[in-house]
Chains A and B, each alone.
Chain A
Amino acid sequence: MREIIAPRKICLYRDETMLSTLFFLQQIYESTENGTKYVTINFNLTEEITAAASVVLFAHINRIQLISKNPAIFTFRCKNSPLYSTFFKPIYLKVLEAGTEEKLNFLEQSNSYYQSGTLPHLKLPVLDRIFEPIQHFYSTNQSVLSILGELKTAINEALLNVHHHAYLGFDVDVPTRWWQQILFQPKDNSLQFIIYDLGIGIVNSFLEHSTHKPTMIFQNKSDILREIMKTGVSRLPEVERGNGLSEMFKLSNYDNMAVWLSTNQLILKKAKPYNIDECEECLYSIPGTLVEWHFQLEGKM
């Protein structure tokens, strides 16, 4: 049996931890090559797992479990991690161990912070259930309720984008799967929602699957992404298309909201209160597309 030691810090937000986090993912894939049936992933040294990285790790482990049809391929050791009692035991272990459709459904039924799905319309009642206690918590604050409504709309559009665009070129029987996380911290009035897919990325989907040949006046991927995000821009010819992506990011105009997007080796960050609006090509590539919305529902960010 092979053992992989997880890094102390599993994080994709910071340059200094991104490489070790991606190397860790690569080791996980390599460990399962050549028909290896059992791999131990040892988190005993892990002191920190940040939100986006936790969803990415969930997705890749889950994908290997599902594709290999071996839900027991990974064993997780974490009892000596400082995160064991606050994170692994109550939340994350059952997420990492959800290697079958039945267990993924159980995550959904138990309103787990972490879930997965393949058909967006089936997730709508679940999202309502997840958001209900948050809406109840802010039931007298109309502006927060309005923002929560807009976030749900943005999530709907993001899930439709995964369904329609993320897995173009894959076999038709490959499910258009995404992985998600919600984290609401009432004490801090903070809410974050993450959606991650393992598709071809927003820029590649547009460039490689446009029904019309896009005019390549933009030379770098960063400019192309910003162009695609504009209202009315679509890879499809119908004039009524091209509003979904802009609707996903409309919320970034609020003073209490930040967005983080990773796709096709690009990292886009928007946070109005800090005057951050940047989109940079980075050295390392996180597979697929990840979008994270982060709200400060009351008070300042």
Chain B
Amino acid sequence: MEKVINVKNDFSQYPFGRSSNDGPNSGERFRNEMLLPVWDQYNKFVIDFSGFQSSPGSSFLSSAFVELITRCDKPYQEVKQKIVILPKDSVYPAAVESLLEQIKVKLNIQ
């Protein structure tokens, strides 16, 4: 079963920052409210960033997705398999992929 999240419609027009210290629409809130409560109910999360003219930045993306691994004890492979970033032809999939790859290297995940 998959859950589709349109970030602009379902979360905020202004996703920004890592934690609540950065504002009300942080990656931390996205992770805690949009992903973690239903993480085990779905085997795929399609996160759609359509409609934005710019990326919310590495702080938001890192907190929303990478910190599932580093702070919430979700296995790297599970996060990789479950998270699908759209639009495919935008900067978002590569940006998230790059952040996950960094973590893979830093944590020496095989």
The interface of chain A, by Cβ under 8 A from chain B, is: 119-122, 124-125, 128, 131, 135, 145-146, 148-153, 156-157, 160, 163, 231-232, 238-241, 243-244, 247
Q: Is B14 an interface residue (CB 8 A)?
A: yes
B47-76 interface bits toward A, Cβ cutoff 8 Å, 1 = contact, 0 = none: 000001111111100110011001000000
B14:A121 contact, CB within 8 angstroms: yes
A149:B53 contact, CB within 8 angstroms: yes
Partner pick for A120 among B22, B24, B63, CB 8 A cutoff: B22
The interface of chain B, by Cβ under 8 A from chain A, is: 14, 16-18, 22-25, 52-59, 62-63, 66-67, 70, 91, 99, 102-103, 106-107
A231:B25 contact, CB within 8 angstroms: no
A232 and B22 in contact (CB under 8 A), knowing A124-B16, A238-B70, A240-B67? no
Taking CB atoms, residues of chain A closer than 8 Å to B25 are 121
A243:B58 contact, CB within 8 angstroms: yes
Partner pick for A244 among B14, B57, B91, B106, CB 8 A cutoff: B57
Partner pick for A153 among B18, B57, B67, CB 8 A cutoff: B57
User: A-B contact count, CB below 8 Å?
Assistant: 78
A124 and B66 in contact (CB under 8 A), knowing A149-B53, A232-B102? no
Interface centre among A150, A156, A238 (most CB of B within 10 A): A156
Taking CB atoms, residues of chain A closer than 8 Å to B66 are 240
Taking CB atoms, residues of chain A closer than 8 Å to B18 are 160
A247:B58 contact, CB within 8 angstroms: yes
* A215 vs B60: C-alpha distance when bound (angstroms): 29
A121:B55 contact, CB within 8 angstroms: no
* A122 vs B56: C-alpha distance when bound (angstroms): 14
* A241 vs B99: C-alpha distance when bound (angstroms): 10
A156 and B56 in contact (CB under 8 A), knowing A120-B22, A150-B91? yes
Taking CB atoms, residues of chain B closer than 8 Å to A119 are 23
Taking CB atoms, residues of chain B closer than 8 Å to A163 are 22
B106:A243 contact, CB within 8 angstroms: no
Partner pick for A152 among B24, B54, B63, CB 8 A cutoff: B54
B54:A149 contact, CB within 8 angstroms: yes
Taking CB atoms, residues of chain A closer than 8 Å to B102 are 231-232, 240, 243
